[in-house]
Structure 1
Amino acid sequence: MLVVNRFRAGADPASLRADLELVHGLLAGKPGYVAGWIGRNLDDPDLWTLTTRWENVGAYRRALSSYELKLQMPVLMRAIDEPSAYEVVEPNAVLNVAEPRVT
C-alpha cells in the first residue's frame, strides 16, 4: 500500500521540512513500513509530499495510532485534505473492491 500526503509549506518551508523529516523517521521505525521519502514539487516549490509504502493498510493505521505519531499530529493535520491511501497496482493483480465491511 502507498500513502501520499501533500503539504503546502507556506511562509516557513524549513520548518515543514524538519517536521516531515521527524515524522518520516518515526514512521520508518514502525512495523510494516517498507519505504518512504519526502519530496518537493519542481514546478511549485511550495508543494511538498511525504510518501510511504506499507505492507498493508493495517500496519499504516497502527503506525498512525502510536503515541509518538499522535504527538506529531499538528504537521500531519496540515496535509491537503484529499484521499492519500493507494493500492499498488501490479500486472494481473486483483484490485480492492469498494464494498461495505459491516455485516
Structure 2
Amino acid sequence: MFVVTRYRVPEPESEQFAQLARQALEALAERPGCLEGRVSRSIDEPDLWLLSTRWQSVGTYRRALSHPEVKVRAVPLMYRCIDEPTAFEDQVSFAAGQGLTEHESDLIVE
C-alpha cells in the first residue's frame, strides 16, 4: 500500500517545510514495514508538495503512525496536509522487467 499526502506551501515557507518534510520522512523510514518514501515538489505548481511512502501493509503503516518518534517528527507535518484521502492500495502495477501485476485487495467489504 502507499500513502500520499499533499501540501500547499507558500514560497516564503518552502525551505522550512522541506526540512520538516525530511524529518517526517526520516521518522517514517525508520519504522518496520516502510519500503520507500519521497518528498516531492510540483514542477507546474511550486507551492504544491507531496510526501509519499510505500508500506508492506496497512497494519505496518498504522503501527508506524502510533510510534512516539513518528508522532513527534511526522504527525505535526501531516496536520498541514490537504484534507483528502491519503492511503491507497495497488490494484494493478507495472515494474520494468516484470510487466503488469494484479494485486488482491486487503479491504474488508461488508
Q: Decide: shared fold, TM above 0.5.
A: yes
Relative to its length, the structure with more strand (as a share) is 2
Larger relative contact order (C-alpha < 8 A, sep ≥ 6)? 1
1:92 and 1:53 map into 2 onto residues whose CA distance is 17
SS of the residue corresponding to residue 80 of structure 1 reads: coil
% identical equivalent positions = 38
Q: Distance in 2 between matches of 1:47 and 1:12?
A: 12
> For the aligned residues, what is the CA RMSD?
1.4
Aligned length: 100
The aligned counterpart of 1:19 is: 20
The runs of 5 or more residues in structure 1 that have no matched partner are none
> Alpha-carbon deviation of 1:96?
4.4
Where structure 2 has 5 or more consecutive residues not aligned to the other structure, the ranges are 93-100
Structure 1 counterpart of 2:37: 36
Distance, in Å, in 1 between the alignment partners of 2:85 and 2:18 is 22
Q: TM-score, normalising length from structure 2?
A: 0.83
Q: How far apart, CA to CA, are the structure 1 residues paired with 2:102 and 2:77? A: 37
Task: Compute the displacement of 1:88 (Å).
Answer: 1.5
Q: Please report how far the alpha carbon of residue 49 of structure 1 lies from its aligned counterpart in structure 2 after TM superposition.
A: 0.3
Q: Does 1:68 align with 2:69?
A: yes
With structure 1 as the length reference, what TM-score do the two structures score? 0.88
